[in-house]
Structure 1
Amino acid sequence: MKKITAIAATGALLLVLAACSSGGSSAAPADTEFSVGVTFSDLSNPVWAELVQEAQSYGAEEGVEVNYVDAKSDAATQVTQIENFIQQDVDAIIICAVDSESLKAATQKAQDAGIKIVGYTQVLDNYDAQYLVDAYETGYANGEAAAEWINENYGDEDVVEWALMDLPTFPEIIDRANGIKDAVEEIAPNAELVATNSALTAEEGVTNAENFLQANPDLKMIATIGGGGAQGGNEGVKASGITDFDSFGLFGIDATQIEIENIIKGDPQKSSISLGGGKAHGRTLIDITSDLLNGEEVEKDQFMPITVIDESNAQDYFDEMFGG
C-alpha cells in the first residue's frame, strides 16, 4: 500500500453556519444566464451545508441562479426533487445522491430533456461530469495518521483498542472506512478495533464517543469518516472525563474550521484530512457546471485533493483558509 503524504492545502473550509432549511434559492442576478438545481442527500452534514451556501453566492457572481433542496436521506424524495427540476426546465442539476441506483430513470429523463447532470461524491450512472472523493485513499490517509500516532504513543503495548465512526449507507463511504481499517491494521498491528457505529452529524459523534468509552474504558483512539463525527467525537471524549488529551487520539476527515481549531488547541483530535472543503467544492461544482453549459470541454471524472492537517501545519492552514 502506498504511503499518503500531505500535499499543498487548497480551497477554503467550513464556516459555522446556521442550520439549512429544506431548500433555498439565490436571487437571480440581472445577467443570469443559467439556472441550476442542486439536490443533496442530507444537509445536516456541515460541509455540505456550507457547499450549497457557497454555490448560491458564487453562482450569483457567475450569472448562475442556484436553487437547492435537501432530500433528508430519502431516496424517493430525491427522485421527486429531480423530476421537479426537470419540470422547472433548469439547465443543469447537481446531485449528491442518497441512492445512486434509484436515480437512474430520473437522471436519464433529465439528460433526454437536455439538462446537464453533475454528480458529487456518489457515483451516478447517467452524468455529464462528476466531482468525487478518492474514497479508499482518503480513508487510508486518515488511518495512516492514526496508526502512526498509535506507534508513537503506544507502540510498546500488546493491544491498543480503537473505535471507528463509519457510515455504511454509501458505497463510497464504505471504501473510505475500509481504507482507514487497512491502514491501521498494516501500520499499527497491535491496534484492535473494538467498536463501530455510524456518524454523519456532530450530535451522532458526541453520542458515539461517549458510548464507545463507556463500553471500552481502555479505548485510546477513534477514527471517523467525516467532519461531523470528528467534531462531535472531540466533545464526546472530553465529556467522558478524559483530561489528558495527549493520551487519546481522534482522527477525522473534512478539516472543518472547528476540527482545525480543536487540533490547534491541543484537544483530543490530532489530525484531519482536507478534501478542499465545502466552500471550495461549491465553487468547483459551479465552475464545472458553467463550463458544461458553455460548451467547454470538461474532464468527466474529477477528484478532490487529499491533504493531511495536523499540529505541524494546522495553524498555517487555519491562517490561510480562515484568515487567522
Structure 2
Amino acid sequence: MKKAIAMLLSAVMIFSLTACGAKQTEDEPAKGVGQTQTDVNAETSEKTQTDTTVKNEDSDPIKVGLCNINEKGAFGKLVKYGFEQACNERGWELVYADNNSNGQQAITNADTMVLQEVDFVVDLNVDSSVGDMVKGIFDEAGIPVLAVDIALGDAPFFGIDSEQLGYFNGETAAKYIQENYEGSVDYVVLMTQIASGDEVQKRVRSSIDALDENGIKYGEVVEIESENDAAISQQRFTDFLTAHPDAESVIVFTINENSAQGVYAGAVTAGREWDVRIFSANCGVQFVEPMYESAGKQSWVCTISNFTELYGEQCCELIEQYFETGTIPESTCCKFEAITWDNISEFYPEGNCPWDNFE
C-alpha cells in the first residue's frame, strides 16, 4: 500500500511541475512492425457525410489522420496504441498528431491533416469552444471526420455516451452505499471538466439521477472543477476536506482517471482516505496498478472502463463502413464495464494489461 501511495504522489508531483508551463508529452509507444506512420507534430513543432468517395481494392492504402486528445496519461497512449495496431493490421497509413488538450493546437493539427491529404480523420478534441472551427476545416477540404468521446460540431460520434456512463456509475455507487453506508452519505462530490462542454458533464451529473432513483440519501452535492489535471484536483479536493472536517462519508464521481488520481492522493495525504470513496471513468494504469498493489484495500473502489485500448479497432471498422457505403451512424457507443477488485483480473490481469505493450 505504501508503494501505491508513493506512486500516486510521485505522479501528482510530475503533474504539478508541468501544470504552469508547456506540457511535455511522455514517450510514445513503439510502432507496429511494418506500419507506416507520420507524426505531424514532429514535422510542424445513423449521419451521412456529404463526400461519399468509396475506396476500392485497387486504390492506394487508406490514409487515416488521428488527432489524439493528449499523451499525458494512459488514456491518450492507449488510443494511439490501438490505432497503430488497427491500421497496421489493415495496411493503412496512420498520420498522427497530438492535440495536447489545447484548442489552438487542435486547429493547427486540423490544418496540417488537410495539408497531409488524409482520407479520413478521427479527432479527440477536449476544447468544445473550437469544435465547430475544427469541423469546418475538414468540411472545407472535403475530408470526412469522426469525433471521439467529445462532440466536434455535427460530426458523427464514437465513444462514451456520457449520460449512460454517469448513470451506470451512479447505479454501481448506489449498490455500494446501500451495502456499506446503509443507504446514506454526507456528501456527493462531482469532479467536472467544464471546458469539454455540457454533454461531458453528464458523466458525473447523471450519477445523481441514479442515486436518487435508487433511494440513496445524501446531505449535499458539491461540484469541483478538475481541469483534467491531477495536481489541481488534489489541491481543490484537499480544500474541500479541510472545509468539511466532520464529513465521514464522501462519495466522489470523476470524469476520468486524472481527476480521480488527484482526489485519491488528496484524501491520502490529508489522512482522510477512508472518509472518501471514489468512482471514476476510464481504466488504465492509474487505477489498475494501485488496485493490485493494495489488493483492493483502497478508497478508489471502482472505475467504469470504456476499453480505450479497443478504440482504434472500433473506429477503423467504422472507417471501413464509410468507404464501403459512404455513410456511418450518427452515434456509436463503446461498451462499459464497472471494474472493481472482484473482477479486475478478468479484464485487466496483472502483468498482462494493454499498456504493458508500451511501458
Q: Matches of residues 273-284 of structure 1 in structure 2 within 5 Å? A: 273-276=304-307, 278-284=308-314
Q: Distance in 1 between matches of 2:111 and 2:234?
A: 37
What amino acid is the match of 2:118?
V
Q: Equivalent residue for 1:316?
A: 346
Tell me, yes or no, if the aligned pair for 2:128 and 2:195 is still in contact at 8 Å: no
What amino acid is the match of 2:178?
N
Give the direction of change, closer, same or farther, for the CA distance of 1:219–1:225 in structure 2 (3 Å limit).
farther
Q: Equivalent residue for 2:299?
A: 268
Q: Distance in 1 between matches of 2:181 and 2:225?
A: 24
Q: TM-score, normalised by structure 1?
A: 0.79
Q: Distance in 2 between matches of 1:172 and 1:45?
A: 22
**Which digits, 9 at most, give the CA deviation of each residue in 1:49-71, with x for residues without a partner?**
32023312432232222222223
Tell me, yes or no, if the aligned pair for 2:204 and 2:253 is still in contact at 8 Å: no
Q: Equivalent residue for 1:77?
A: 105
SS of the aligned residue for 1:265 comes to: coil
Q: Does the alignment pair 1:143 with 2:132?
A: no
**Backbone CA RMSD of aligned residues:** 3.2
Give the direction of change, closer, same or farther, for the CA distance of 1:99–1:233 in structure 2 (3 Å limit).
closer
Q: Out of 194, 197, 200, which is 1:173 matched to? A: 200
User: Which one is further off, 41-50 or 19-28?
Assistant: 19-28
Q: Equivalent residue for 1:8?
A: none
What amino acid is the match of 1:275?
N
Q: Equivalent residue for 1:184?
A: 211
Give the direction of change, closer, same or farther, for the CA distance of 1:241–1:99 in structure 2 (3 Å limit).
closer
Tell me, yes or no, if the aligned pair for 2:174 and 2:183 is still in contact at 8 Å: no
**Count of matched residue pairs:** 300
Q: Matches of residues 169-248 of structure 1 in structure 2 within 5 Å? A: 169-170=195-196, 171-187=198-214, 188-194=216-222, 196-217=224-245, 218-220=247-249, 221-242=251-272, 245=274, 248=276
- CA shift, 1:252, in A, is 0.8
Q: Does the alignment pair 1:130 with 2:157?
A: yes
Tell me, yes or no, if the aligned pair for 2:131 and 2:151 is still in contact at 8 Å: no
Tell me, yes or no, if the aligned pair for 2:26 and 2:72 is still in contact at 8 Å: no
Q: Equivalent residue for 1:38?
A: 66
Q: Distance in 2 between matches of 1:150 and 1:262?
A: 22
Q: Distance in 1 between matches of 2:147 and 2:343?
A: 31
Tell me, yes or no, if the aligned pair for 1:25 and 1:67 is still in contact at 8 Å: no
Q: Does the alignment pair 1:120 with 2:148?
A: yes
Identity of aligned residues (%): 21
- CA shift, 1:83, in A, is 1.5
Give the direction of change, closer, same or farther, for the CA distance of 1:292–1:22 in structure 2 (3 Å limit).
farther
Give 5+ residue unaligned stretches, structure 1: 1-18
- Structure 1 residue runs of 4 or more that deviate by more than 4 Å after TM superposition: 21-27, 294-297
Give the direction of change, closer, same or farther, for the CA distance of 1:153–1:79 in structure 2 (3 Å limit).
same
Q: Matches of residues 274-313 of structure 1 in structure 2 within 5 Å? A: 274-276=305-307, 278-295=308-325, 298-313=328-343
**Which digits, 9 at most, give the CA deviation of each residue in 1:141-165, with x for residues without a partner?**
11222233233322376x6123221
- CA shift, 1:84, in A, is 1.6
**Which digits, 9 at most, give the CA deviation of each residue in 1:111-146, with x for residues without a partner?**
45342211111223343x421311111111112222
- CA shift, 1:22, in A, is 11
Q: Distance in 2 between matches of 1:227 and 1:106?
A: 26
**Which digits, 9 at most, give the CA deviation of each residue in 1:220-253, with x for residues without a partner?**
222212122223322332222136x4x5311111
What amino acid is the match of 1:165?
M
- CA shift, 1:98, in A, is 3.5
Q: Equivalent residue for 2:138?
A: 110
What amino acid is the match of 2:62?
F
